[in-house]
Amino acid sequence: MRIFNLFITKPLDQLMRNAKEESGMKRALSATNLTTLGIGAIIGAGIFVLTGQAAAQYAGPAIVISFIISGFACLFAGLCYAEFASMIPISGSAYTYAYSTLGEFVAWIIGWDLILEYLFAASTVSVGWSGYVVSFLKDFGIFIPPQFTAAWHTVLVDIPNIGWKPLTDQLAANLTSTGVIVDHLPHITAVLNLPAMFVVAAITVLLVIGIKESASFNNVMVMIKVFVIILFIGIGFFFINKVNWHPFIPPNTGVWGHFGWSGVLRGSAVIFFAYIGFDAVSTAAQEAKNPQRDMPIGILGSLGISTVLYILVAIVLTGIVSYTFLNVADPIAVGVDAMGKGLFWLRPIIKIAAIAGLSSVILVMMLGQPRIFYAMAKDGLLPSRFARIHPRFKTPYYSTIVTGSVAFIFAGILPINILGELVSIGTLLAFAIVCIGIIFLRVKRPDLKRPFKTPFVPLVPILGALICMIQMYSLPLDTWLRLIIWMAIGLAIYFTYGVHNSEMRKLHAQEKPDKEQIAG
């Protein structure tokens, strides 16, 4: 067996047969389910958490431009995803697409990258969920000890009339500018983020029980949060103070990515994490009732609706509150507070919607990851236990439990900024590879039936890949170093396990002696 044949591809006719075969998973998702699945993943952390943080740290009010840049990148990538998903409607997402076009080695890289994307995404959003839950309970006089509401070793400071917040350089500067002596405020060091760990555990149980139950739960969560987001936008427009938009693009501090146009670009890369929902739609292809028709609807429909809402929320939020005060876990709640006491009734509603919205994001991320494991295990690149289907619930229970366990740990000990940037760079890499794969496949197999075609090829795929790579370049160096370390671990697993157990390699090894016998 030639283990160094790194670019062996899985024949598309074999993928088509796999799509028609019974996988053991239940086909229960309609086009509406897939669209709400995508919205459930997209509308969440981006609006309720990262909008404020990216504005405060990188782009200022120009975070609106950051969302537009990321929206265009996602549109191009989404069109490429839609073609692949309609043509190869099986679990695996970009991993499966890469296997059929760019070869097994690239497929492994993208599959390992997707593990980073989904696993850390669930942990990231659970931290935001924790922030809103703690704030919501506080409104009713229920207090969770602050040392159990933040990442391990995070320094928290008790701000008068606000409460315990992570102490950052930006927050310290803001407090100092208002005459507050930071060193005189109570400090404490966090141990674990218990609420974040709780929600990961609860959703893991839900996902093991069944896909239909999970989709129904997600539909309810999506309806709640979309209604409240529209309510916030409608009311918030009347409280916009245009002074908060000046300067619209704050001057650069002298450091790349800290305001100015480089900050707008870095902001677009950081919030890119918030757009990965349509990618999650493609992982559920084997549970879709009519994947050839419904997958493009789910991908493009969820992307379009979510992008419009993102831009409107960014406009309203930065108009209500100065961007300098938005580096918090619950920026929308801060925006509601700034509207005045007359709208205090909206505060708990916003928090309920945020909790519901972030719950659905965690659910979709943790739904997508086990299905990546499932596809890789079926190909022999991971142990077969990752492809086990529960005999009663018909879900990939083993990989769901593994995913939940790891996300459970990360949610408790890591801060949201590290998690979010890791997810963003993983997402951008995945999207760039999918865009390139479309061009390869159009050249190699122009005869294939494509229920949905990406328009203006190769222009759209080239633009999609290019924008993704530019955004990757704008991310901090330490984020790149973490990606490199993660990929090094993945390559070690591939060369010690994957190449020796690959089903495609075994198949080629069996076919070769047969051909030699015929030739003899």
80-94, 159-173, 461-475 — most confident range: 461-475
What is d(CA 459, CA 475) in angstroms, rounded to the nearest whole number? 25
Model confidence at 353: pLDDT above 50:
yes
What is d(CA 120, CA 50) in angstroms, rounded to the nearest whole number? 15
Both tokens of 477, joined, read 């160096």
Closest alpha carbon to 307 in 78, 460, 59: 78
By mean pLDDT, which of 42-51, 143-152, 224-233 is the weakest? 42-51
pLDDT in tens, 444-454: 888 888 888 89
Model confidence at 18: pLDDT above 80:
no
**Residue carrying structure tokens 């218990």:** 194
By mean pLDDT, which of 19-33, 255-269, 474-488 is the weakest? 19-33
By mean pLDDT, which of 46-50, 223-227, 284-288, 443-447 is the weakest? 284-288
What does the pLDDT read at residue 518? 46
What does the pLDDT read at residue 213? 63
Model confidence at 28: pLDDT above 70:
no
What domains can you pick out in the chain, each with its CATH number? 12-139+203-510 (1.20.1740.10)
User: What does the buried/exposed string (b/e) look like for 416-445 if buried means 16 or more CB atoms within 10 Å of the residue's CB?
Assistant: bbbbbbbbbbbbbbbbbbbbbbbbbbbeee
Question: Which run of H or E residues covers position 492?
Answer: helix 477-493
> Which residues partner with 273 through β-bridges?
none
Average pLDDT estimate for 317-338 = 85
What does the pLDDT read at residue 93? 67
More confident residue, 329 or 72: 72
The percent of residues in the chain predicted with pLDDT above 70, rounded, is 90
Q: Are 417 and 53 in contact (CB under 8 A)?
A: yes
Q: Are 408 and 200 in contact (CB under 8 A)?
A: yes
pLDDT in tens, 58-84: 999 999 999 888 888 888 988 898 888
Q: Residues with Cβ < 8 Å from 23, sequence gap 6 or more? A: 90, 91, 286, 389
By mean pLDDT, which of 46-50, 238-242, 277-281, 388-392 is the weakest? 277-281
Report strand pairing: 163-166 vs 187-189: unpaired
Question: Which run of H or E residues covers position 358?
Answer: helix 346-378
Q: Residues with Cβ < 8 Å from 5, sequence gap 6 or more? A: 505, 508
What is d(CA 122, CA 363) in angstroms, rounded to the nearest whole number? 8
Radius of gyration of the chain (CA): 23
What does the pLDDT read at residue 423? 80
Mean pLDDT of the chain: 83
What is d(CA 273, CA 121) in angstroms, rounded to the nearest whole number? 8
pLDDT in tens, 115-166: 887 888 888 889 888 988 988 888 888 999 999 998 888 888 888 766 777 7
Q: Residues with Cβ < 8 Å from 13, sequence gap 6 or more? A: none
Q: Are 175 and 159 in contact (CB under 8 A)?
A: yes
Q: Residues with Cβ < 8 Å from 14, sequence gap 6 or more? A: none
Both tokens of 331, joined, read 């920026």
The percent of residues in the chain predicted with pLDDT above 90, rounded, is 26
What does the pLDDT read at residue 88? 75
**pLDDT bucket at 495, cuts 50 / 70 / 90:** very high
By mean pLDDT, which of 140-149, 283-292, 467-476 is the weakest? 283-292
Average pLDDT estimate for 341-347 = 82
What does the pLDDT read at residue 283? 67
Model confidence at 1: pLDDT above 50:
no
More confident residue, 146 or 375: 146
Closest alpha carbon to 14 in 514, 519, 515, 511: 511
